[in-house]
Copies of this chain bind each other. A is one copy, B any other.
């Protein structure tokens, strides 16, 4: 399928930064002319920059590709977490969805089986997923745009958050650190998350058993204290064996 191939080429180029036509053709299992055509379409989309004998990833497309890659890592675990979180929802609740690929799965689940909700979020991707759903009103936090995870941050966001109140907060594991424990939380994000917790009547943070990198993250310890102090109960979702198997090294 063409769409899958385009996506594969983009992800491959994101990994390698640049590659030759032959390399791409072998990677995606297509012929050379097809790869050329695909690179043409990707170039018109602005995703890649074509060179003689190969192609490079476009600078502007890097963030987007990185987001897609992060979204696909541990996808089964994230979906399972999303389902578990979804079951906690009741009609006419007001919930806050944090920015992150794991929480995004909760949003997708809501889109799949809608129920009347008041949703607050600081993530543009979450807002997009939840647009145009009956009985789901979405309120987006304002603030400085952070392209890395399509979220808003900053003093404006915190001030706006202080005017809100919600029944339940879904603080994604990505906030603490997922996708290979390379994620370091910045100051603004930490403060915003702190404010979130103060505004939530009940906090739920789900920790997958395989995301044990919390112990690796120096920022995790104070957060765990904060969450425990706020009365957070950590739960574990179990993955089906084949789902866990097909993830393999993603745990990293």
Q: A residues near B, CB below 8 A?
A: 1-4, 10-11, 14-15, 18, 20, 46, 51-54, 56-57, 59-63, 66, 79, 108, 111-112, 124, 127-133, 137-145, 147, 150, 152, 154, 156-157, 159-160, 163
**Which of these, B124, B132, B139, contacts A143 with CB under 8 Å?**
B139
State in angstroms the CA–CA spacing of A198 and B124 once bound together: 27
A218 to chain B, nearest CB (A): 28
Are A137 and B131 also in contact (CB < 8 A) when A14-B108, A112-B11, A156-B163 are?
no
Residue from the set A52, A63, A129, A145 with the largest chain B CB neighbour count within 10 Å: A145
A32, chain B: closest CB distance, angstroms: 15
Contact pick for A139, options B56, B59, B156, CB 8 Å: B156
> Can you list 16 A-B pairs, Cβ within 8 angstroms, ordered by A?
A2-B52, A3-B18, A3-B56, A4-B18, A46-B132, A57-B108, A59-B129, A60-B111, A60-B129, A124-B127, A139-B144, A139-B154, A139-B156, A141-B142, A142-B142, A159-B160
Instruction: Give the interface SS of chain A, mostly helix, strand, loop or mixed.
Output: mixed
| Cross-chain contact B62 with A132 (CB below 8 angstroms) | yes
* Shortest Cβ distance from residue A23 to the other chain B in the assembled complex, whole angstroms: 10
Please name all residues of chain B whose beta carbon is closer than 8 Å to the beta carbon of A60 when the two chains form the complex.
Answer: 111, 128-129, 131-133
Contact partners of A154 in chain B: CB under 8 A: 139
Give bound CA distance, A77 to B124, whole Å.
29
State the copy count for this chain: 2
With contact pairs A18-B1, A63-B132 given, residues A140 and B142 touching in the complex (Cβ less than 8 Å): yes
Say yes or no: B152 contacts A140, CB within 8 Å: yes
Q: In the complex, are the beta carbons of B1 and A53 less than 8 A apart?
A: yes
* CB closest chain-B residue, reference A138: B145
B131 touches A150 (CB 8 A): yes
Distance in angstroms from A126 CB to nearest chain B CB is 10
| B138 x A144 contact (CB < 8 A) | yes
Question: A63 to B115, alpha carbons, bound, how many Å?
Answer: 20
Task: Tell me whether A124 and B132 are in contact in the complex, defined as CB-CB below 8 angstroms, given that A3-B56, A156-B139 are known contacts.
Answer: no
Given contacts A1-B53, A3-B56, 18 further A-B contacts (CB under 8 A): A1-B54, A2-B53, A3-B18, A3-B51, A4-B18, A15-B79, A46-B132, A60-B128, A60-B129, A61-B131, A66-B132, A139-B145, A140-B140, A140-B143, A142-B142, A142-B143, A142-B160, A160-B160
